[in-house]
Structure 1
Amino acid sequence: MIALLQRVKEARVEVGERCTGRIGQGLLLLICAEPQDNEAVADKLLQKILKLRIFSDEAGKMNRSVQDVGGGLLIVSQFTLAADVSGGNRPSFTGAAPAEPGRRLYDYVVRQARASHPIVETGEFGADMQVHLINDGPVTIPMRM
């Protein structure tokens, strides 16, 4: 799985005129399933994200996790994270899982996140979404499991 984490002061996702998810301080997670991914990979990714110490402590050092600061998670599917631009000017997305396995893993990550963390909001899988955020830092971290 591929994830792009953004530490945010706030973030929200809209589909059309409808807000599907909104958080204050926390992490915006853009995630993409790849064809070889499974639930074990998703679990490993989520546990790493929940424990990643990228929030500041009293001394200003990145020493606290999203759990430590009571921040929210806003989880958004984004198959374009698997883009391959090596062959020309139009990206190829063959590195992303097909729609149904991708949806199943996205839904699994959301269920597991909700079971492990009190504040979890989402986008809408496969929808044309507008993501609004205030990146804190900015802190943006790519991850691949």
Structure 2
Amino acid sequence: MDYNPLKLENQICFPLYAASRKIIKLYTPLLEPLGITYTQYITLLALWERDGETVKALGERLFLDSGTLTPLLKKLESQGLVDRRRSHEDERQVFIHLTEKGKALRELALEVPHKIVSCVDMSMEDAMELYRLLYLLLKEEGESGVCSIEQ
């Protein structure tokens, strides 16, 4: 049987895309009562770990560009969950700080990971291996985030 490089099932991108959509779909009903989207949730997760990061550092951790992150942060700010503050030393740097409301939301989100784990039928060994492989893939990007493949 000949290998067809353009067959959907032969693309690594497709199961990654479909699995990502499935996982986000599982998160959606759990996050709705908190009043946040999945992308807002992962942003808050990062800030609950390291409050007061720059927009640039936060974007790097989340693999989000500023065009995606800036409107997201503005929305979180309008919800009263974060404050954006310009650096006094360098006006180009903006730091993101959780508000008291943003910090309090962490307690309400504590059950989300446990509920997600119960929805995914995967052994702990498989989950750990998937995690390892996905981060291996994420680390494969060059410094610019773009793979330089000769054409």
Q: TM-score, normalised by structure 2?
A: 0.28
Larger Rg: 2
Q: Which structure's residues are more often strand, by fraction?
A: 1
Q: TM-score, normalised by structure 1?
A: 0.29
Q: Which structure's residues are more often helix, by fraction?
A: 2
Q: For CA contacts below 8 A with separation 6 or more, give which structure has more relative contact order.
A: 1
